[in-house]
Copies of this chain bind each other. A is one copy, B any other.
Amino acid sequence: MKQPGLLQAGQPEIDLLYNRLAVKSEDFHTDRFHLKHLCALPGRFADFSLAANDFFLDYSRQRLDNEALALLFEAAEATGALEKFREMTRGNLVNTTEKRAALHMATRASESSASKQPLTIDGHDVNAGINRVNAEIRDFVENVHTGRLTGTSGSPFSDAVVVGIGGSYLGCEFVYHAMGPSMDRRIALHFLPNVDIDDFAGIISRVNPEKTLWIIISKSYTTTETMANLNQVLAFLNAEGLSPKDHVVTVTAKGSPGDDPENPVLASFHMFDFIGGRYSVSSAVGGVPLGLAYGWEGFRRFLDGCRCMDTHALSAPVHENIPLTAALISIWNKHFLGYPAQAIIPYASRLSRLAPHIQQLYMESIGKSVSFSGKELRHPAGSIIFGEPGTNAQHSFFQLAHQGPAFPIDFIGVAVPGFSGPQAQSKGVTNHQELWANLLAQARALALGRDNEDPARRFKGNRPCSIIMLNDLEPESIGQLLAFYEARTIFEGFILGINPFDQFGVELGKVMAGDLRREIAARNQDTDHDFSHLDAPDQFYLDMVFKKNIPGK
Contacts and interface: CB of A to CB of B under 8 A. Distances in A.
Interface in A389-411: 389, 391-392, 394-407
A427 B521 contact: yes
B445 A512 contact: yes
B397 A471 contact: no
Contact of A549 (B39, B97, B205, B415): B415
A437 interface: yes
Contact of A513 (B44, B392, B437): B437
A144 interface: no
Contact of A402 (B356, B400, B506): B506
Interface in A360-404: 360, 363-370, 374-376, 379-386, 388-389, 391-392, 394-404
A1 interface: no
Given A402-B509, A440-B537, A441-B509, A456 B520 contact: no
A360 B165 contact: no
Nearest to A525: B428
Protomer copies? 2
A120 interface: no
A395 B169 CA distance: 10
A194 B389 contact: yes
B520 A436 contact: yes
Given A443-B537, A450-B508, 14 more contacts: A46-B536, A58-B537, A166-B392, A196-B431, A198-B417, A229-B431, A232-B423, A356-B388, A380-B406, A381-B404, A403-B505, A415-B547, A440-B516, A471-B550
A123 interface: no
Interface in A413-434: 413, 415-419, 421, 423-434
Nearest to A503: B399
Contacts of A85: none
Given A392-B193, A544-B415, A455 B375 contact: yes
A348 B405 contact: no
B395 A167 contact: yes
A382 B396 contact: no
A275 B199 CA distance: 34
Interface stretch (A64-72, A220-228, A282-290): A220-228
25 contacts: A45-B536, A51-B553, A165-B391, A165-B392, A165-B395, A181-B201, A195-B435, A197-B431, A198-B350, A199-B349, A364-B396, A367-B405, A376-B455, A379-B405, A380-B406, A385-B397, A394-B509, A415-B547, A428-B518, A436-B520, A441-B515, A441-B516, A442-B509, A442-B513, A456-B499
